[in-house]
Structure 1
């Protein structure tokens, strides 16, 4: 039986080696490539075409979300599991919106990671069970915001409020992307949505709104 071919993307070499040892204890999985940043990940993916990618989020050069977006643009069928310290549901939603197939926290037990690899390889989505409630909470929050759409501050998602705060502080899109570990394209999309929801036409008007509503 062919083994599941995995690429590890993690900037800390000791963590990478630990993950490799854990994974290769399984007879049906092997690590075929390792990358230390998002740029390498995108390049190595094109060379190795692994079955599954394990991707950290916080990395130099291109972060994990940026690498995820780039890989999915070149290969929409790529199967990528985000392996991260971030339990914030905004990061979870960001990853899913960009096409991630799975989301696992770094403090999860080893068997959770192995199960995630196998499930994703088989074509399923895998969200760590402890994160499932975050999806429910996010859904409820969006539903609540829809019922209270007359209040502009309730329309914005938590991530959009984060972006708005940084806009009000005068940060450029590139700086916002680096601060929040997302791509510039994603920042532009958030800003466009913010303008539409607040019915403003530029960054200055958005910043004034943030100041009036004590968001900064």
Structure 2
């Protein structure tokens, strides 16, 4: 059974999530009402997944994510919040979140997301993903103050990645860069491998998180 810690400052919300996950046979092994308490519970229980609200008094969700990174605590974090602001989404992803959902999800969507993260994947609400991809195409996506250099991507791979982000299929990427389509497929496969992404959309989201797309 997947073991989960729920972090939210509202008691009723925490209890509601616990009840829903119990029905879906997901075990809630701990609760916390802010980031400081969350770190203690996570260290003690070593959950498979953490459900984390962003807006909390004292120590909020972003603070919690950054503390987990700083302390080297590797646990998949699914942000579950009412806020879908693009800057917040990207800040959360850049701070180590592996998933981002809004609180209007169904029980099935929530349990699917929890299991996806527990299995090593990532999951962003489709509406947020679509909006971020549109922002890339229009050049309005927020960029981090200190972008992570694309050390492992060659110049050609970065070109292919930018066109992937703009929604180009392999054939059009090949035409734009004067390459064979098979060569583009090889570049895409290498990009997915280097970014640890399971598909093109996931690769673009990870590149956004790490500041690889300007």
For 1:98, the equivalent position in structure 2 comes to 95
Unaligned residue ranges in structure 2 (runs of 5+): 146-214
Compute the displacement of 1:82 (Å): 0.4
1:84 to 81, 85, 91: 81
Q: CA RMSD in A?
A: 1.9
Compute the displacement of 1:76 (Å): 4.9
Unaligned residue ranges in structure 1 (runs of 5+): 146-155, 161-216
For 1:186, the equivalent position in structure 2 comes to none
Compute the displacement of 1:72 (Å): 2.3
Cα distance in 2 for residues equivalent to 1:39 and 1:60: 11
Secondary structure (helix, strand or coil) at the match of 2:23 reads coil
1:36 aligns with 2:12: no
Cα distance in 2 for residues equivalent to 1:75 and 1:110: 31
Cα distance in 2 for residues equivalent to 1:112 and 1:157: 27
Is the Cα–Cα contact under 8 Å of residues 78 and 99 in structure 2 kept in the other structure? yes
Superposed structure 1 runs of 4+ greater than 4 Å apart: none
For 2:193, the equivalent position in structure 1 comes to none
Aligned residues: 145
Is the Cα–Cα contact under 8 Å of residues 104 and 127 in structure 1 kept in the other structure? yes
Cα distance in 2 for residues equivalent to 1:73 and 1:48: 19
For 2:203, the equivalent position in structure 1 comes to none
Compute the displacement of 1:159 (Å): 8.2
Cα distance in 2 for residues equivalent to 1:76 and 1:67: 11
Cα distance in 1 for residues equivalent to 2:121 and 2:32: 24
Compute the displacement of 1:135 (Å): 2.2
**Structure 2 length as normaliser, TM-score?**
0.63
